[in-house]
């Protein structure tokens, strides 16, 4: 079975040291996750992944960068009002973005999407890469992920996958945007956050991952300046030290 690591070249892959994760690794994993953002690896989630026969959980060591992630916090009611205002000037783009359906797969398999938007042919759920396939898209749906695609042309040009979990600090809502168009990316931000505000109350921490790093700064500015979201000190490129562990999961098909 192959293990896919998002956004790395062969030189980086050659440096990885990989083995199966065990329950006793939790403390080491928590040390890394706390340094990154302190939300992902609650004990119940981690030990569930280790025991889940449908999930392969690995520990990996590398000195390279992983992903660009933005961390923001907002009050749900205040944010929702701003999202309604922000949606109007980009309504023409927002209106083309719909919830994923099985019928979208044919358009997503077109070379314009599969090669240009998903060059590694992986889809992110939080920071976990899944091989792009209909069974895995169905798996993400079964996990109650909120999946959006645009229907603006013969081929899909953008995709976002969102989800949430509760922590002792409140609700965390994460979403990853696969896109190369700035306005489409902003439209996914608005729609994912509107969905989060409809599902959750009170303070929400958003973790926004932008697969195309050239859009990261624009999306971050949009969230902070246009929406007035509070930036949290966890974002930026994640540096993984040689003695620390990165955890991801790969769905078995």
Is the pLDDT assigned to residue 158 strictly greater than 90?
A: yes
The Cα–Cα gap between 181 and 200 comes to 28
Burial label, 110 (beta-carbon count in 10 A; 0-12, 13-18, 19+): middle
Higher pLDDT, 67 or 40: 40
Higher pLDDT, 144 or 94: 144
**pLDDT tens, position by position, 185-242:** 999 999 998 898 888 776 778 888 888 888 988 888 888 887 777 665 444 433 332 2
Higher pLDDT, 78 or 226: 226
What was the pLDDT predicted at 247? 34
What was the pLDDT predicted at 13? 52
State how far Cα 74 lies from the chain centre.
18
pTM for the predicted model, two decimal places: 0.65
The total of other beta-carbon atoms located within 10 Å of residue 119's CB is 10
Q: Exposed e or buried b for every residue in 207-237, given b needs 16+ CB within 10 A?
A: bbbbbbeebbeebbebbeeebebeeeebbee
Burial label, 77 (beta-carbon count in 10 A; 0-12, 13-18, 19+): exposed
**pLDDT-based confidence at residue 2 (cuts at 50, 70, 90):** very low
What was the pLDDT predicted at 150? 94
Higher pLDDT, 186 or 57: 186
**Arithmetic mean of pLDDT over the chain:** 72
**pLDDT-based confidence at residue 179 (cuts at 50, 70, 90):** very high
The total of other beta-carbon atoms located within 10 Å of residue 99's CB is 12
Phi-psi region of 173 (alpha: psi -120 to 50; beta: other; left: phi over 0): beta
What was the pLDDT predicted at 125? 83
């Amino acid at each position: 079975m192959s293990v896919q690591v998002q956004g790395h070249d062969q030189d980086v892959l050659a440096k990885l040291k990989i083995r199966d994760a065990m329950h006793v690794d939790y403390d080491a994993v928590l040390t890394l996750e706390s340094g990154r953002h302190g939300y992902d690896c609650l004990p119940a989630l981690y030990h569930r992944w280790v025991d889940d026969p449908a999930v392969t959980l690995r520990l990996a060591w590398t000195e390279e960068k992983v992903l660009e992630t933005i961390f923001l916090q907002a009050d749900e009611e205040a944010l929702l009002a701003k999202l309604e205002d922000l949606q109007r000037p980009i309504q023409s783009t927002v209106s083309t973005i719909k919830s994923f359906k099985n019928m979208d797969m044919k358009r997503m398999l077109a070379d314009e999407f599969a090669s240009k938007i998903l060059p590694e042919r992986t889809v992110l759920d939080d920071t976990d890469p899944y091989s792009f396939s209909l069974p895995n898209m169905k798996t993400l749906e079964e996990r109650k992920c909120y999946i959006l695609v645009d229907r603006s042309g013969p081929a899909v040009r953008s995709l976002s996958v969102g989800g949430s979990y509760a922590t002792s600090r409140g609700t965390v809502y994460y979403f990853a945007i696969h896109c190369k168009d700035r306005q489409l990316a902003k439209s996914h931000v608005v729609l994912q956050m509107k969905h989060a505000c409809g599902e959750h109350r009170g303070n929400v921490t958003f973790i926004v991952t932008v697969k195309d790093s050239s859009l990261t700064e624009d999306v971050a500015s949009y969230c902070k300046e246009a929406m007035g979201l509070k930036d949290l000190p966890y974002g930026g490129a994640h540096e993984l030290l040689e003695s620390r562990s990165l955890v991801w999961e790969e769905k078995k098909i």
